[in-house]
Amino acid sequence: MTTTQVEILEKEEIKLVGFSVMESLNDILANRTVGILREDLDKRKNEVENREGDGIYLIQLYSAGGWTPDTPFENIVAVKVSSFAEIPSDMITHVVPAGQYAKFVHIGLESEISHTYDRINDYGPRPFDVEYWEDIHSLETEESEIDIYIPVK
């Protein structure tokens, strides 16, 4: 498992369509909630109009009161769209704001991503972070790469 802070970069806003769930990290791990939503979205992504690419995003929005593994927070699993059109009735929209982001890359098994977050957490609390999975079917391989974007203040 290798992690690298690749760069600080400017990102344009990202328009997303997908699913949202409010759950703690411990519940997500116990119930595989995000994994199930990711698989459901992968099966249904062709229903999303104006979709760009096959990758899937995870947006984790943290509450202002501080984060613990038992504190529920919003998790959005979504695909990128060029513009919002007709949205499937059980899906939501979300916009990741444009701005400056630190990009980290987690290389290796997704199940070991906590090691990467331990390093990222050294930078202090943040309002949200963004994961990008290009291929969800290879996440438990040694070659898997997950891009993680952290907003820079």
pLDDT in tens, 64-95: 777 788 999 999 999 999 999 999 999 999 99
Tell me the pLDDT tens digit for each residue of 124-134: 888 999 999 99
CATH number of residue 53's parent domain = 3.20.80.10
User: Model pTM?
Assistant: 0.92
pLDDT of 63 higher than 90: no
User: What's the structural domain count of the chain?
Assistant: 1
Residue-averaged pLDDT of the chain: 91
Residue 68: its pLDDT value, please? 83
State the SS3 of 3-42. Answer: EEEEEEEEECCEEEEEEEEEECHHHHHHHCHHHHHHHHHH
Residue 39: its pLDDT value, please? 95
- Its domain, for residue 85, covers 2-151
129 beta partners: 60
